Amino acid sequence: MTGKRAPSESVRRASQLNTKIRLHNIVPVAIHAQRYDVDDEPQRGYKLEAQAVEWMRYQNAVGAQFGVSVELFRGPEAQRVLLAKLEVAFRVFYALATPFSPEDEAFVPDYLRSAGWLHAWPYLRAEVQRLSSSLGLPALVLPVLLAGQMGDIAVMRVAAGDLTTVTPAAPPVKKKRPARAKAHP
């Protein structure tokens, strides 16, 4: 036995887009930090939550927003004191190398779960570190993200339609529809 696991269905589906999509740009869209407690005692821990990923298809591109909320605290769990809350989001744009088929578009959520978080994570991680430091707290260095770690906890949404409840390995998907251009008289 080689010890290798077969790729998950989600990874197999995501790999279908590898030759059709390429990373184009990453831009910050939401950065918020608030300090609640000014005590000099350093933080003892943090709570990290991945925000729902919203994505939309443009004519020749796909855009997806990845974000995290982080609470910095001190004290034992029963007596936690919230020191600060950070919210950071980046939008990642992918250019389409070839036109998408309807089947390709169905693979976008799998691609974003597998590759999208890996593209956005270094930017989110760096901004959380910068924000915590700028609040006068010890810099919070989030762990390195390994392939496959975020897909199980990240929720994906498509802007149109209702969300459905599914298992964590296959989160619901929410897709935004692009805004229509206004006609000029």
Q: Convert the pLDDT of each residue in 52-92 to its tens digit.
A: 888 998 888 899 999 999 988 887 777 788 889 999 999 99
**Residue 2: inside a domain:** no
DSSP per-residue string spanning 142-178 = PPPPPTTTGGGT--EEESSS------TTS---EEEPP
**Residue 182: inside a domain:** no
**Residue 4: inside a domain:** no
50: which 2 tokens? Answer: 């991945």
Supply the CATH number for residue 56's domain: 3.10.420.10
pLDDT, averaged across the chain: 76
Report the domain count for the chain.
1
DSSP letter (8 states) at residue 20: T
**Residue 3: inside a domain:** no
**Residue 185: inside a domain:** no
* 119 Cβ neighbours under 8 A, 6+ residues apart: 23, 26, 92
Question: How far apart, in whole angstroms, are the C-alpha atoms of residue 45 and residue 11?
Answer: 32
Q: How far is CA 37 from the centre of its chain?
A: 28
**Residue 184: inside a domain:** no
37: which 2 tokens? Answer: 């407690």
Whole-model pTM: value is: 0.74
Instruction: Write the pLDDT tens digit of every residue in 100-119.
Output: 888 888 888 888 888 888 89
Q: How far is CA 11 from CA 31, 107, 163, 167, 169, in A?
A: 30, 10, 22, 16, 11
Is residue 111 within 8 A of residue 53, CB to CB? The reply is no
Is residue 123 within 8 A of residue 90, CB to CB? The reply is yes
**Residue 15: inside a domain:** yes
58: which 2 tokens? Answer: 């443009």
Question: How far apart, in whole angstroms, are the C-alpha atoms of residue 58 and residue 177?
Answer: 9
Strands 174-176 and 81-96, sheet pairing: unpaired
**Residue 101: inside a domain:** yes
Which residues make beta-bridge pairs with 34? 85
Read off the pLDDT band of 49 (50, 70, 90).
Answer: confident
- Residue bearing the bigger pLDDT, 180 or 26: 26
Of 113-117, 152-156, 164-168, 174-178, the least confident: 164-168
Which residues make beta-bridge pairs with 23? 94
Question: How far apart, in whole angstroms, are the C-alpha atoms of residue 50 and residue 179?
Answer: 26
39 three-state secondary structure: coil
Read off the pLDDT band of 176 (50, 70, 90).
Answer: low
**98: containing domain:** 9-176
